[in-house]
Structure 1
Amino acid sequence: MTSIYTSPAGARTIEAKYGELLAGWPVPAQHQRVPTREGETFVVASGPADAPPLVLLHGSGSNALMWTPDVAAWSERFRVYAVDLIGEPGLSAPARPPLTSGAYPLWLGDVLDALGVARASVVAVSLGGWLALDFATRHPERVERLVLLTPAGVAKAKVAGVLGAVLLKPFGEWGKQKSVELLLGPEVRRQQGSAEFVRLMSQHYRYRREPVPVVDDAAMQRVTMPTLAILGARDTFIDTPRTAARLARLVPSATVRVLPEIGHLLPAQTTPVLEFLTSP
């Protein structure tokens, strides 16, 4: 199996930086390592142990750190589990089974079982959004509410933004910064910690190249739980109009919001997501 990093030294660099940033987690937390069929999975757990469970799934090229702006508010009402996806630059196993294999919903089921969570609300972004949606179509009884932030897999992905970012990369640090902005949107300028971590990974991490499969109509119609989708109108990855249209047509329980002038990286959605999760 090809390593997800360019070298063992690169893997150690990413892991060390991740550990350094995890020390700044904004609320008290427990670090858990749970067994799954794909290997050990790392989870950051916050909030009261007896509160309703909330599972967070990040996107590709990311880890649990992406939830640091949200976790303080959400952990007041929920037992929050920020899960490091397998095959990504976190502390979970580097396993990358094919996205079409059906392995990822099985893996997520293992994670929930190991955490003792029979049913949970799920908030997920990008690749994590595809995984959450796929899991919800197969196991709707295990998902209380579903929040999809710029989710992959609802419509075929764009390629123009990715190609543009690749063309900018040879132009030194300016090109790298512009590449990050082109891919993620202008919000990245206000999240420099994220941009710095992305640049570090561009040196040491092998991003996924496999296209995300589109969830078919019949499966989408099995998503019956209350669902909130938030999209960026200027997303260079996600085909926002088609994603919004498919969700509206196939998931009657879905509320779809499109944010104007926003790319793939959304501004903080802490409050609207919390309001949705706690609404009657």
Structure 2
Amino acid sequence: MRAFFILILLIFCLSCSDVYDKYKNEPDYITHAKASDKSYFEAYDKTLKLWNTSFEELYVPTTNGIAHVIVSGPKDGDPVVLLHGMNASSTMWYPNVEALTKTHRIYAIDFILEPGKSYLYNDIENVDAITEWYKEVFFALELNRFHIIGASRGGWLAVKIALNNQNSIKSLVLLSPAQTFTWVKPSTDLFKNIITLLSSKEKQMEQTLESMSSDVDNINKAYLEQYSIATEKDSVNKFIINMKPFSSNELKSLTLPVLVLIGDDDMINTKRTVDLAKRLLPNVKAETINNAGHFLSIDQAEIINQKTIDFLNMNK
């Protein structure tokens, strides 16, 4: 009889355990960070305090390194993967997570080739290898059917992942996707950014933010500090160089629901992005958000949150 109760207790304990427990221990590169990384990790953690909702950090081992994933929201919530923009890291979602996690379970993944808390072991040779890396992370997290929200470069990645995994993805939300529908065309802001490459780091950062956001003062100072350190640490990687717009046939093959939102003052996209999305994607809703730049998820967080949540709820 005693053995029977022990068995019942063991089964109960196993059923209560979190399937992600094995991913919760901080790796050495975090706990014993070298000096050049320590300040960035401290800035990252400071930004995480802005999330206004509970979360846990996971460190998922993969073939090429460790994927850092921030998980938040109800365990029975509809899963949503968040893919951030260049050098932005998963903390860029600080104005959005509180709203999203009221009904959804979010998984924010740090891109492994840029500053963040993911850690690269082995070189990743090409874009296809990047999408395979994400699939490996999805498998480890036991994500079988989920939505993806991608911002800027993350929007491009979302489309790339979806092209080969439409059965796994419920819908896509593309927030000012970079290099997805058209090439990034020269603009006044783009030329200013190129010119200021010869200026001080402070001037470069000021110009970048002014060209990316319609209201720089609205960006939290903790996040600005982290973003500034990230841009200093990063260099252009071959993945960014190999990004190119998707073909008409590729976009027409995406039959899953897609929401495309761009800012009306976006240096990366124009109205042509919205027009092409409507013409090429079979199941799309696309529009321009007023008073928003490329950082529209920060510039107009409340509007973006509501439109995104409404769309996700329509496509459960």
TM range (shorter): 0.7 to 0.9
Given the superposition, is the C-alpha separation of residues 102 and 41 from structure 1 closer, same or farther in structure 2, using an over 3 Å criterion?
A: same
The offset of 1:169, in angstroms, is 5.1
- Identify the residue that residue 49 of structure 1 maps to in structure 2: 75
Moved more, 194-203 or 83-92: 194-203
Pair 1:148 & 2:174 matched: yes
List gaps (5 residues or longer) in structure 2: 1-33
After superposition, the C-alpha distances for 1:57-89 in whole angstroms (9 at most, x for unaligned) are: 101111111111111121111111111111121
The offset of 1:188, in angstroms, is 2.6
Given the superposition, is the C-alpha separation of residues 174 and 112 from structure 1 closer, same or farther in structure 2, using an over 3 Å criterion?
A: closer
- Matches of 1:93 and 1:162, distance apart in 2: 30
- Matches of 2:246 and 2:227, distance apart in 1: 28
Pair 1:239 & 2:265 matched: no
Q: Tell me which of 160, 163, 178 is aligned to 2:206.
A: 178
- Matches of 2:83 and 2:202, distance apart in 1: 31
Q: Does structure 2 conserve the Cα–Cα contact (< 8 Å) formed by 1:187 and 1:265?
A: no
The offset of 1:125, in angstroms, is 0.3
- Larger RCO: 1 or 2 (CA < 8 Å, sep 6+): 1
- Matches of 1:233 and 1:90, distance apart in 2: 29
Pair 1:125 & 2:156 matched: no
- Identify the residue that residue 199 of structure 1 maps to in structure 2: 228
Equivalent position amino acid for 2:231 in 1: S
Given the superposition, is the C-alpha separation of residues 110 and 244 from structure 1 closer, same or farther in structure 2, using an over 3 Å criterion?
A: same
Given the superposition, is the C-alpha separation of residues 235 and 211 from structure 1 closer, same or farther in structure 2, using an over 3 Å criterion?
A: farther
After superposition, the C-alpha distances for 1:71-121 in whole angstroms (9 at most, x for unaligned) are: 1121111111111111121111246635x5311221111111110010101
Q: Does structure 1 conserve the Cα–Cα contact (< 8 Å) formed by 2:146 and 2:171?
A: yes
Equivalent position amino acid for 1:216 in 2: S
Equivalent position amino acid for 2:307 in 1: P
The offset of 1:182, in angstroms, is 3.6
Equivalent position amino acid for 1:155 in 2: T
Moved more, 186-195 or 37-46: 186-195
Equivalent position amino acid for 2:167 in 1: E
The offset of 1:205, in angstroms, is 2.7
- Matches of 1:276 and 1:59, distance apart in 2: 21
Secondary structure, in 3 states, of the residue corresponding to 1:213? coil
| Higher helix proportion | 2
Q: Does structure 1 conserve the Cα–Cα contact (< 8 Å) formed by 2:80 and 2:106?
A: yes
Pair 1:219 & 2:276 matched: no
Moved more, 193-202 or 42-51: 193-202
The offset of 1:177, in angstroms, is 4.9
Secondary structure, in 3 states, of the residue corresponding to 1:102? helix
The offset of 1:221, in angstroms, is 1.5
- Matches of 2:71 and 2:231, distance apart in 1: 28
Pair 1:97 & 2:124 matched: yes
- Identify the residue that residue 187 of structure 1 maps to in structure 2: 215
Equivalent position amino acid for 2:184 in 1: A
After superposition, the C-alpha distances for 1:184-222 in whole angstroms (9 at most, x for unaligned) are: 122332104343333233333324462522111222122
List gaps (5 residues or longer) in structure 1: 1-7
Q: Tell me which of 158, 162, 165 is aligned to 2:185.
A: 158
Q: Does structure 1 conserve the Cα–Cα contact (< 8 Å) formed by 2:209 and 2:216?
A: yes
After superposition, the C-alpha distances for 1:155-184 in whole angstroms (9 at most, x for unaligned) are: 111344333113235555762453123431
Equivalent position amino acid for 2:181 in 1: V
Secondary structure, in 3 states, of the residue corresponding to 2:312? helix
- Identify the residue that residue 286 of structure 2 maps to in structure 1: 256
Given the superposition, is the C-alpha separation of residues 73 and 261 from structure 1 closer, same or farther in structure 2, using an over 3 Å criterion?
A: closer
Equivalent position amino acid for 1:188 in 2: V
Moved more, 13-22 or 138-147: 13-22
The offset of 1:227, in angstroms, is 1.0
